Amino acid sequence: MTDNAPQSISLTGKVVAVTGASGALGRALIEELSVRDAKILAITTNLTTIFPDGVTVLAWQLGSEAELLPHLQEVDILIINHGINVYGDRSFSAISKSFEVNTFSALRLAEIFFSTVADAKNRSTKELWVNTSEAEVNPALSPLYELSKRTLGDSMTLLRLDAPCIVRKLILGPFKSQLNPYGVMSAPWVARAIIFLAQRDVRNIIVTINPLTYLLFPIKEFCQSWYFKLFTKHGNIA
Ligand SMILES: NC(=O)c1ccc[n+]([C@@H]2O[C@H](COP(=O)([O-])OP(=O)(O)OC[C@H]3O[C@@H](n4cnc5c(N)ncnc54)[C@H](OP(=O)(O)O)[C@@H]3O)[C@@H](O)[C@H]2O)c1
């Protein structure tokens, strides 16, 4: 099937890498991207998952992000999608795990991906999509999930000021998955909405049933972006 969405960015032939590939949203995104004839790289910590034909599977572990560099050189779009929710656990290990998985590994991957943006062509064709959460602006009834996702979201707002390529944030509401068994939306529906909005070049992709997020997130992102711009200096990330 060809990508024939009117006036939309084509995904046909693009190399798209997805972390958290074996999870509910990872699998749903891979399905949607396959339909649009993207070349998919499933980055996973779970090698027992069976992916559709044509999907290239790449194993990784937390802390071994640098080993992905040679593969990310060839990637047009990296979707940082992996994540965990430790729910009510407030131990030191839960704090460490939440930030390591949700925040620091995502930032390491972003840094490595930015380093692959080598020339002017890359600047306009490469994209980083980061799945933070509507927990950036609303409670998720899981404090450590909120803390770690907000830190990721805020850090991406900061890095986006000097990013060498397009950066999209995915601001998602509750959908059903292992991470959130009570989610009211379905992962395939959320994935379809994400791709639809990304193809229309939306940079802050909000998909949720909570109307407050549509109001609060753009205000938060605008104000914080200006605050960061005023009180920080140009970085050296490319
Ligand atoms: N479900 C929701 O309501 C909701 C709402 C907003 C945002 N989100 C975000 O959406 C993303 C996908 O979540 P999901 O709901 O699809 O959950 P999921 O089905 O549990 O998938 C999450 C995936 O993250 C990867 N992962 C888990 N622990 C990891 C670790 N220690 N190191 C590296 N990777 C690890 C795993 O993928 P592999 O086994 O393939 O490595 C796992 O399948 C997450 O970032 C989540 O925070 C979810």
Answer yes or no: is the C-beta of 24 below 6 A from any ligand 1 atom. yes
214 noted as active-site residue: no
Question: Cα-flanking dihedrals φ and ψ of residue 109, to 5°?
Answer: -65, -40
Longest alpha-carbon distance in the chain:
50
Neighbours of 85 (CB within 10 A): 22
Go through the domains of the chain in sequence order and give each one's CATH number: 15-231 (3.40.50.720)
For residues 180 and 177, give the distance between their C-alpha atoms in angstroms, rounded to a whole number: 5
Answer yes or no: is the C-beta of 82 below 6 A from any ligand 1 atom. yes
For residues 145 and 47, give the distance between their C-alpha atoms in angstroms, rounded to a whole number: 25
Q: Measured at the alpha carbon of residue 50, what is the angle toward residues 49 and 51, in degrees to the nearest 5? A: 115
pLDDT in tens, the chain (238 residues): 444 445 679 999 999 999 999 999 999 999 999 999 999 999 999 999 999 999 999 999 999 999 999 999 999 999 999 999 999 999 999 999 999 999 999 999 999 999 999 988 888 899 999 999 999 999 999 999 999 999 999 999 999 999 999 999 999 999 999 999 999 999 999 999 999 999 999 999 999 999 999 999 999 999 999 999 999 998 665 5
Answer yes or no: is the C-beta of 153 below 6 A from any ligand 1 atom. no
Looking at residue 121, its pLDDT comes to 85
The strand pairing partners of 185, in sequence order, are 175
For residues 5 and 2, give the distance between their C-alpha atoms in angstroms, rounded to a whole number: 9
Looking at residue 234, its pLDDT comes to 84
For residues 237 and 145, give the distance between their C-alpha atoms in angstroms, rounded to a whole number: 27
Could you read off the pLDDT of 147-205 as tens digits, one per residue? 999 999 999 999 999 999 999 999 999 999 999 999 999 999 999 999 999 999 999 99
For residues 193 and 17, give the distance between their C-alpha atoms in angstroms, rounded to a whole number: 18
Q: Say if CB 174 and CB 184 are below 8 A apart.
A: yes
Ligand 1 atom nearest the C-alpha of 135 is 6
pTM: 0.96
Looking at residue 132, its pLDDT comes to 97
Ligand 1 atom nearest the C-alpha of 45 is 41
Where does 42-166 have alpha helices with state H?
69-73, 92-98, 105-115, 120-125, 143-160
